[in-house]
Structure 1
Amino acid sequence: MNKKHVAAYVAVAALFGIMGALVAINKKEVPPYTTAIAPTGGKPHTAVDNLFKQSLNDLQGKPQSLAQWRGKPLVVNFWATWCAPCVQEMPELSELAHTDGGKTFNVIGIGIDSPSNMNEFAAKLKIAYPLYVAGMGGTELSREFGNSAGGLPYTVLIGADGQVRKTYLGKLKFDELRADLAKL
């Protein structure tokens, strides 16, 4: 290899380095997707009714009716152990649930995962809210709430009246969630 080739490679590498730096400088963080589902005139949303008709196993393998959560504001978090943003947000979501203690709202997690993975994960992180095993059926349930892509994490904020107040696709921004909970 002669000096001309080395100089050309160095020039190309420098050009790519400069382009990479420019992209990094101008990169903007994309906020998580949120939406409000259209009001239904005071009637619970169909997706909420379908959620409360579900009976899912808890981490001990016992079937639990999700209707037990009807009538109080509810944060429903669809997640999986293999989903990095899910894993990142769960300790803070657990702390939020623990701090409120179910006084003004409840938090539940619906896992799109296997019971063994969920059990191991929950034991390691000491999650302070109920987790339910939905497997891949949880993806379809989240789609009913507007998660057409089936992305995770997906969180739904449901008012005490059964109205979907907001949905969040992606890692939660907790000051936004706290502000939304305060409006309920």
Structure 2
Amino acid sequence: MNKKHMAAYAAVAAMFGVMGALVAINKKEPSPQTTAYAPTGGKPHTAVGQLFAQSLNDLEGKPQALSQWQGKPLLVNFWATWCAPCVQEMPELSALAGEDGGKRFNVIGIGIDSPSAMAEFATKLKIAYPLYVGGMGGTELSRGFGNTAGGLPYTVLIGADGQVRKTYLGKLKFDELRADLAKLNG
């Protein structure tokens, strides 16, 4: 191939890249799908029991028992560094967790990602809540909460009683989340 052909291919590739970026910028984001769970007569949901039975590594590689969050209102966010809506919502989720400081609820993140990518990301964005490395096992955990497609981000609101109050598939709408958190503690 000569230099003229190579330059033409590069120009066409760049044009498609720009067109793809413009489509992505102008694309309207779908509303997150939410699911409310039926009460289980005061018993924790099975998926909650499975969550609290887990021990996952933190970003320093130390195993952490998720049972430490049992008995407290908890927001569990399943995410990945390669997931654009996850990355977009995390700064606001981190600010929300930082505002509350665990007084009314706690936030944890379970990454479906490599420990090194998660650590680099968390350091860069200064995430204010604990992050745990779930890997592909994290996808299975989220499926237990009704995330049958394994989509991300996927967030689960759990009451102090172990009841799943609501799940959110897609980028969080923070007005809705704040209203749900107020009901949880009201």
Interval of TM-score (by shorter of Structure 1 and Structure 2): 0.7 to 0.9
1:41 is aligned to 41
CA distance in 2, matches of 1:87, 1:30: 16
1:29 CA displacement = 5.7
- 1:113 is matched with which residue? 113
Q: Work out the CA distance in 2 between the residues paired with 1:56 and 1:48.
A: 15
The answer to whether 1:57 aligns with 2:54 is no
Q: Which amino acid aligns with 1:168?
A: Y
The runs of 5 or more residues in structure 1 that have no matched partner are: 1-23
Q: Percent identity between the aligned chains?
A: 86
1:31 to partner: Cα distance: 1.6
Per-residue deviation, residues 84-117 of structure 1 (Å, max 9, x unmatched): 0000000000000000000000000000000000
SS at match of 1:110: strand
Q: Secondary structure at the match of 2:157?
A: strand
Q: Runs of at least 4 residues of structure 1 off by over 3 A?
A: 27-30
Give the CA deviation at 1:150. Answer: 0.2
- 1:142 maps to 142
SS at match of 2:135: coil
Quote the offset at 1:28 in angstroms. Answer: 7.3
1:176 aligns with 2:169: no
Normalising by structure 1, we get a TM-score of: 0.84
Q: Whole-Å Cα distance in 2 between the matches of residues 118 and 46 of structure 1?
A: 28
TM-aligned CA deviation for residue 30 of structure 1: 3.2
Give the equivalent residue in structure 2 for 1:87: 87
Whichever residue aligns with residue 105 of structure 1, its letter is: F
3-state secondary structure, aligned to 1:165? strand
